[in-house]
Amino acid sequence: MQPTDVTNPRYYHKVVDCQWGCPAHTNVPEYIRLIAQGRYTESYLLNRASNVFPGILGRTCDRPCEPACRRTRVDGKPVAICRLKRVAADLRDDVSDFLPKVPERKNGKRIALVGAGPASLTVANDLMPLGYECVVFEKLDRPGGLMRTNIPAFRLPASVLDEEVAMIIDMGVDLRLATPVTSMRALLAEDYDAVFVGSGAPKGKELDVPGRWDAKRIHIGIEWLESVHFEHVTSIGERVLIIGVGNTAMDCCRSSRRLGGRDIKVMARRSRKYFKASPWELDDALEEGVEIVENHAPRRFVVENGRLVGMEFERLAWSEKDGKQRSEVIDTVTIPCDDVILAIGQENAFPWIERDIGIAFDDAGMPVVDRVTMQCSRPGVFFGGDAAWGPENIIWAVEHGHQAAISIHNYCQGLPITDRPSYGMNLVSAKVGMHAWRYSNDYSPAPRAAMTHVELTQRFQKLNVEVELGFTAEQTAHEVERCLNCDIQTHFTAPLCIECDACVDVCPVNCLTITTDGPEEDLRTRLSAPALNRTQEIYVSAALPQTQRVMVKDEDVCLHCGLCAERCPTAAWDMREFTVLIPYAGKPASYELRTANPIPSGLSSQLAVRSSQPL
């Protein structure tokens, strides 16, 4: 195998599973260490640099980082990354002095942003400090987009949302509330240098089965949540059926519970394995007494005298044939109800974009948007968030915003938008003394901290009682220690190795092997423990000096405990803190030496690797 090139930021970046899994590449291990040190403000700011809304995301993120977390592969449960983010947001001091500064003198470029949701706000956040003028058009009378209207207040308090949205608006964004854009042609005719569309996927899917139009009290999930938010809806019948099991369905059933629903059933076509809702949201709904009914496909609404009285379902039996799931109808059942909420998905709708202005749409009615540049077929018009490719989540919207901001900046500077700035990396020894590291390297066997919830009796009294109480100081202290510090890399310097086997012997999880070189497929089978997880890389060194064999490391379950480095007599293994340097609009990934102790000048070249390459 070719020796692994660790000077390409991609290799070590991928080892940091959470950061690799995060669409916005939040530096999770570093912010967890900052929390461990009680440096909440710094932790918050580190978060904000990449994900912009730490307080909001610390409560509502879809957490792609957590299933990716190495700890899952080690002891079954990921670190509670998301809720630790909330700890930093809750306990931080005032950060207004540390927010990006906006120049007095503008650069003369004006950007129109459609929709005041996370995608548009991120674009404004990145462009305002560069001197752009940003004009945000919002159809509702408050900013925040779906973060405000679709996430119930018992999950995300309005104060948290208001504060983080204000951090961006207060940079001097020209926010035009209650100003829907009704014509893209008209908008383009105005004097803007670029247009960003972050208008979300605001249309709930219909369920056109018999009876749908014969009665009231059949609601579309996201529209209903919006009405609840604006207090246009303040009650619901006792018996409620929710159709669909995505996260919107969870918000609908839990909101129903607070508006008077007593017998609430979430109706699913398939079995739990296939539910779209995040497992923790399902658990929270179950805790509140919501019933989840599997394998029921809606057939028709039962309407008597113009009044909805129930819904008829087909009970399905699923079987697998040739890798395809097939269903068979067992019988039909009618479930009585007072209200039905349809939460079977969302669609994009762009009735306000004329089809003859150079913006191409595909057969499904979606704009054709470039995956990298976020630009549509008309130069200068960019899409992001749910508006680009349909419903995703907040953290994806943020990343789209960052990328669109880079493109808009290039576009306005007259540079090709395909010129993407490269990623960089810092790699600095974490050694601060004899067997002392600048991170807590011992493995903590503590189980994942469980979030404490408000008592059931209290939480239904008002619609805006936040259910999750956040971690206590003790829970936080334990949870931060569960982090394996995957960004503290095991860095190997082959010419120093004397092949004493010390690292191989001491590794608690059999990651290391010294063996003869071979093709990857073959190497993976002859390691100390077979490297069966193909999603994880194996590291292969250059030939070792004494026997010409190679050092192989399977990254899969490495604890980053540093024992290989502690046992190494020649410092061929070293623990090095890796930071992937992420470029943002107008801010190239710059090399900066960050270390806890001064490095002797002779050693600096050996201890720090500087690199700058595209990922």
Among 87, 84, 92, smallest CA distance to 41 is for 92
Interacting positions 428-487 with other proteins (CB under 8 A)? 435-436, 441-443, 445
Residue 532 backbone class (left: φ over 0; alpha: ψ -120 to 50; beta: rest): alpha
Exactly one of 38, 180, 336, 530 binds other proteins (CB under 8 A); which one? Answer: 530
Q: Tokens at residue 367, please?
A: 């704009």
Least CB distance from residue 532 to other proteins, whole Å? 6
In the complex, minimum distance from the CB of residue 84 to other proteins, in angstroms, rounded to a whole number:
21
In contact, 119 and 400? CB cutoff 8 Å: yes
Looking at 171, 209, 529, 596, which residue binds other proteins (CB under 8 A)?
529
Task: Say how far apart CA 584 and CA 378 lie, in whole Å.
Answer: 23
What b/e string do you get for 173-189 counting C-beta neighbours within 10 Å, with b at 16 or more?
bebbeeeebeebeebbe
Nearer to other proteins, 73 or 378 (CB): 73
Residue number, 393 or 441, with CB nearest to other proteins: 441
Stretch that binds other proteins, among 21-29, 149-157, 273-281, 498-506 (CB under 8 A): 498-506
How many residues interact with other proteins (rule CB under 8 A)? 35
DSSP string, 534-594: TTS-EEE-SPPTTT--EEEEE-TT-----HHHHH-TTSSEEEEEEEEEPPBTTB-------
Stretch 395-424 residues interacting with other proteins (CB under 8 A): none
Shortest distance in whole angstroms from residue 67 CB to other proteins: 16
496 binds other proteins (CB under 8 A): no
Q: Using CB under 8 A, which of 10, 14, 39, 73 touches other proteins?
A: 73
| Cβ at position 276, least distance to other proteins in Å | 28
**Nearest approach, Cβ of residue 575 and other proteins (Å):** 12
Q: Which of residues 151-180 bind other proteins (CB under 8 A)?
A: none
Comparison of 164 and 566: residue with beta carbon closer to other proteins: 566
- Please classify residue 520 by burial: count the beta carbons closer than 10 Å to its beta carbon, then call 0-12 exposed, 13-18 middle and 19+ buried: middle
Select 91 or 509, whichever has its Cβ closest to other proteins.
509
CB of 78 to other proteins, least distance (A): 15
Quote the CA–CA distance of 280 and 266 in Å, as a whole number.
15
Return the H-helix or E-strand segment holding 505.
helix 502-506
Instruction: Give the nearest distance from C-beta 567 to other proteins in angstroms.
Output: 5
Q: Whose CA is closest to 565, among 614, 603, 607?
A: 607
| Neighbour count for residue 47 (Cβ, 10 Å) | 27
Q: Does 569 contact other proteins by CB under 8 A?
A: yes
Residue type, 196: F
For residue 561, state whether it binds other proteins (rule: CB under 8 A). yes
Query: Which helix (H) or strand (E) is 347 found in, with range?
Result: strand 346-347
Q: What whole-number distance in Å separates Cα of residue 329 and Cα of residue 324?
A: 17
Stretch 534-553: interaction string toward other proteins, x if CB under 8 A: ------------xx------
Kindly report each contact of residues 276-279 with a partner whose C-beta sits within 8 Å and lies 24 or more positions away, as own/partner.
276/245, 276/246, 276/247, 277/245, 277/246, 277/247, 277/249, 277/250, 278/62, 278/63, 278/247
Among 32, 387, 563, 581, binds other proteins (CB under 8 A): 563
In the complex, what is the shortest distance from the CB of residue 81 to other proteins, in angstroms, rounded to a whole number? 19
Tokens of 129: 């400090």
75 binds other proteins (CB under 8 A): yes
Distance in Å, CB of 18 to other proteins, minimum: 19
How is residue 554 written in tokens? 């399977």
Our separate counts of H helices and E strands in the chain read 23, 24
Contacts (Cβ under 8 Å, ≥6 apart) of 293:
265, 266, 267, 268, 335
559 binds other proteins (CB under 8 A): yes
Footprint on residues 502-521 left by other proteins (CB under 8 A): 502, 504-506, 508-511
**Residue 183 in tokens:** 């014509």
Nearest distance from residue 472's CB to other proteins, in Å?
A: 26
Q: Show the binding pattern over residues 85-104: x = contacts other proteins (CB under 8 A), - = does not.
A: --------------------
Considering only the stretches 80-88, 218-226, 303-311, 492-500, report the one whose residues sit in contact with other proteins under the rule CB under 8 A.
492-500
495 binds other proteins (CB under 8 A): no
67 interacts with other proteins by CB under 8 A: no
Binding footprint of other proteins on the chain (CB under 8 A): 73-75, 435-436, 441-443, 445, 498-502, 504-506, 508-511, 529-530, 532, 546-547, 557, 559, 561, 563, 566-570
